[in-house]
């Protein structure tokens, strides 16, 4: 009896109009877009120091971004990029802040830099450095007999005098 009732309910529900679902608020952004505020954007714009602070100490990072937003009156993305630059180069950031205050010079931290500006060159350079330091150099050193760490007889200050 229960089985028949369950099958009837399934049959009736199959012909009902579907309930309207709330539209999912999905933010579609391209990776490394101009308004991307992800940790990867931080890594590629300002390097591993800012990235490390953002990953290892997220509370501290968030506090500095919010404090900067409140004191300077800028939006979140601008504050994030300024704090990323500040963690990467504190002295340069201080000089830039003084120049903004004293000379009225506006520094744009939203400009693409490094890998984002020249992705093909960056990929080529990374591949070449990897080849040189991890393939060519160790092979060449081993071909020449390796590295001898024993002190030579010409070592004047060594322990064998």
pLDDT tens string 81-129: 999 999 999 999 999 999 999 999 988 888 877 777 788 898 899 999 9
**With b meaning 16 or more CB within 10 Å and e meaning fewer, what string describes 84-105?**
bbbbbbeeebeebeeeeeeeee
Residue 78: the pLDDT is: 92
Look at residue 24 in the predicted model and tell me its pLDDT: 47
Cβ-Cβ contacts under 8 Å for 145 (sequence gap 6 or more): none
How many domains are there within the chain?
2
Identify whether residues 62 and 77 lie together within a single domain.
yes
Structural domain of 135: 117-146
In a domain, 3, yes or no: no
In a domain, 36, yes or no: yes
Q: What is the pTM of this model?
A: 0.60
Q: Tell me whether residue 16 is in a domain.
A: no
Q: What value does the mean pLDDT take over residues 39-59?
A: 90
Q: 38: which DSSP letter?
A: S
Q: What is the pLDDT of residue 130?
A: 96
């Amino acid at each position: 009896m229960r089985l028949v009732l369950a099958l009837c309910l399934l049959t009736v529900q199959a012909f009902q109009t579907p309930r309207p679902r709330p539209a999912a608020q999905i933010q579609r952004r391209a990776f490394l877009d101009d308004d991307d505020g992800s940790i990867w954007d931080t890594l590629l714009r300002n390097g591993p120091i800012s990235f490390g602070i953002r990953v290892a100490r997220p509370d501290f990072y968030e506090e500095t971004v919010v404090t900067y937003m409140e004191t300077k009156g800028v939006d979140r993305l601008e504050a994030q990029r300024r704090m990323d630059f500040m963690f990467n180069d504190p002295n340069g950031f201080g000089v830039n802040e003084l120049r903004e205050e004293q000379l009225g010079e506006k520094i744009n931290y939203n400009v693409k830099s490094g890998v984002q500006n020249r992705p093909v060159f960056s990929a080529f350079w990374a591949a070449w450095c990897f080849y040189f330091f991890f393939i060519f150099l160790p092979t060449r050193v081993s071909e020449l007999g390796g590295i001898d760490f024993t002190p030579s007889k010409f070592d004047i200050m060594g322990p064998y005098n």
